[in-house]
Chain A
Amino acid sequence: MKTRAEAIAFFRQQPDGVRPGLGYEVEAFRPGDAEGVSELFYRVYGDAYPIDMYYIPDAVRSAVELGALHPVVARLPDGRIVGFAALYRSSPPFAGLLEFGLGMVHPEYRGSLILFHLTNELTDRMTALPDVEAVFGEAVCDTIITQHSSALFGFREVALELELMPGGGAGRISCLVLFRNIRDRKRLLHAPGFCAGELRTLVAWAELDREVAVLGQEPQQAAATRLEVQTFAHAGVMRGNVHSLSGDGAAALRKAEAAAAAEGCRIFQWFLNLAEPSAAAGAWLLRQDGYRLGGLLPRWFDDDALLMQKLLDAPVVENINLYSDRAREILAMTLADPLGEPAG
């Protein structure tokens, strides 16, 4: 099974051998689990999961070997895999910041506590993994359950990604970003003046040791502009990292946004490195172009990031369910007028 198509064709021909009601063990992934993991993705998502790697056992094994994926699994006595959750490298440039997610349970075991035990196991393990310095999760806002559970596992709310994911009939789904630091040191943030107060609040909530220097609107230029941009056409989302901005920075940001819009993106996110004054100052440019505050993404670049976001369509606020006063305060921050007027 070397390709997604081969793997899906193979799984389609196999009867689902999982029997309900058996005991299981929850443990770290072993290389021999990869076939079962790929089959689980097929049993849970059919052929619809958007990332090819998870359907291909060798690719799963390789990601684990490279440290890009730290899975735990629920394994039946016969070795079949009926549950999966993982820490994994996703959009952050810093390899020490991993995303917590991919939790799934075989349909025959959905009434069990497998997902709870997977989460417990992963949370216990993550503090001991030497290459994992911090962890974040994106909790969907069509329900508060995941947000609340994440908080009970020690994660703190730091940002709100408006309308991030395509939803069902009720419209798009926003995601609350929750963060947990494991190993860190004191850092200096350059906070654009228009959101310095909000960033101080988020720093305090996330219990970070940070010195905040406030940046005015005066130009801050690095020697070169350095951006990375990803587009997720199926989700209509552009996501970009701003490491530094030079004199051509404003043009580069606008060019990237226009290119993403031409691909069909309607949600635009920039993550600005707050350790780099020129990158942080880019928030002033984005604000003029209609971007709103999204929040703080601690450790995104190893140093922290400021999330600025722009939506071509107004967010449907009634669809955003939030579990805490802090999360609702972040929503209010994101809804404030991009040019500084309170939301009305």
Chain B
Amino acid sequence: MSATLEDLKKTFAFAVPADVLAKLDPAKPLTAQGVDSLAMTAMAVAVQNAFGVKISVAEGLKLKTLNDVLAFVNKAR
């Protein structure tokens, strides 16, 4: 079964304040929406653990938006 944006947002709940998470535009860069580098790190760890995928440096360079992360997770699983 494919992961959804809601699945991702649940995974990120510990790393991103609820008000920021609720307003995230999946097509816009996360860092332009109040997600800082510490939160980006935590989100990446959570993605690896929750979805059983490994984010390489090359892949990580492409993950700018929630849509990017979702596409990566569903391709890599």
Give chain A residues whose Cβ lies under 8 Å from the Cβ of B58: 23
Inter-subunit contact A116/B15 (CB<8 Å): no
Contact (A110, B57) CB under 8 Å given A148-B14, A148-B15, A152-B49: no
Alpha-carbon gap, A153 to B42, bound state (A): 10
Inter-subunit contact B37/A117 (CB<8 Å): no
User: Does any Cβ of A come within 8 Å of B36's Cβ?
Assistant: yes
Give chain A residues whose Cβ lies under 8 Å from the Cβ of B48: 152
Query: Main SS of the interface on chain A?
Result: mixed
Which residues B34-65 have CB closer than 8 A to chain A? 36-42, 44-46, 48-49, 55, 57-58, 60-61, 63
Alpha-carbon gap, A148 to B31, bound state (A): 20
Contact (A116, B45) CB under 8 Å given A144-B14, A148-B14, A148-B15: yes
Inter-subunit contact B44/A116 (CB<8 Å): yes
From residue B29, how far is it (CB to closest CB) to chain A in Å? 7
Inter-subunit contact A112/B14 (CB<8 Å): no
From residue B36, how far is it (CB to closest CB) to chain A in Å? 7
Can you list 16 A-B pairs with a CB-CB distance of less than 8 A?
Answer: A23-B58, A24-B61, A110-B36, A113-B41, A113-B55, A115-B38, A115-B41, A116-B41, A116-B44, A145-B41, A145-B42, A149-B15, A149-B41, A149-B42, A152-B46, A323-B14
Give chain B residues whose Cβ lies under 8 Å from the Cβ of A297: none
Inter-subunit contact A145/B14 (CB<8 Å): yes
What is the interface residue range for chain A against chain B? 20 to 34
**Chain B residue, CB-CB nearest to A123:** B45
Q: 15 other contacts beyond A111-B30, A149-B42, with CB at 8 A cut-off?
A: A25-B57, A111-B29, A111-B40, A112-B61, A113-B41, A113-B61, A115-B37, A145-B41, A146-B38, A148-B14, A149-B15, A149-B41, A152-B42, A152-B49, A153-B45
Inter-subunit contact A148/B42 (CB<8 Å): yes
Give chain B residues whose Cβ lies under 8 Å from the Cβ of A111: 29-31, 37, 40
Inter-subunit contact B45/A149 (CB<8 Å): yes
Alpha-carbon gap, A26 to B49, bound state (A): 20
Contact (A116, B55) CB under 8 Å given A111-B31, A145-B14, A149-B41: yes
Contact (A113, B38) CB under 8 Å given A145-B15, A152-B49: no
User: Does any Cβ of B come within 8 Å of A119's Cβ?
Assistant: yes
Binding site for B on A (CB under 8 A): 23-26, 105, 110-117, 119-120, 143-146, 148-149, 152-153, 323
Alpha-carbon gap, A120 to B48, bound state (A): 10
Inter-subunit contact A105/B57 (CB<8 Å): no
Interface residue from A24, A117, A143 paired with B38 (Cβ < 8 Å): A143
Alpha-carbon gap, A146 to B30, bound state (A): 19
Residue of B14, B36, B41, B46 contacting most chain A CB atoms (<10 Å): B41
Alpha-carbon gap, A114 to B57, bound state (A): 8
Give chain A residues whose Cβ lies under 8 Å from the Cβ of B63: 113
Alpha-carbon gap, A249 to B49, bound state (A): 48
Contact (A119, B45) CB under 8 Å given A24-B57, A111-B29, A145-B15: yes
Give chain A residues whose Cβ lies under 8 Å from the Cβ of B46: 152
**Chain B residue, CB-CB nearest to A115:** B41
Alpha-carbon gap, A197 to B52, bound state (A): 36
From residue B38, how far is it (CB to closest CB) to chain A in Å? 5
Inter-subunit contact A26/B14 (CB<8 Å): no
Inter-subunit contact B57/A26 (CB<8 Å): yes
Inter-subunit contact A145/B38 (CB<8 Å): yes
Top 9 closest A-B pairs, CB basis? Answer: A111-B31, A113-B60, A116-B44, A116-B41, A110-B37, A115-B41, A152-B45, A149-B42, A145-B42
Contact (A113, B14) CB under 8 Å given A26-B57, A143-B38, A152-B49: no
Give chain A residues whose Cβ lies under 8 Å from the Cβ of B29: 111
Give chain A residues whose Cβ lies under 8 Å from the Cβ of B45: 116, 119, 149, 152-153
Alpha-carbon gap, A23 to B59, bound state (A): 11
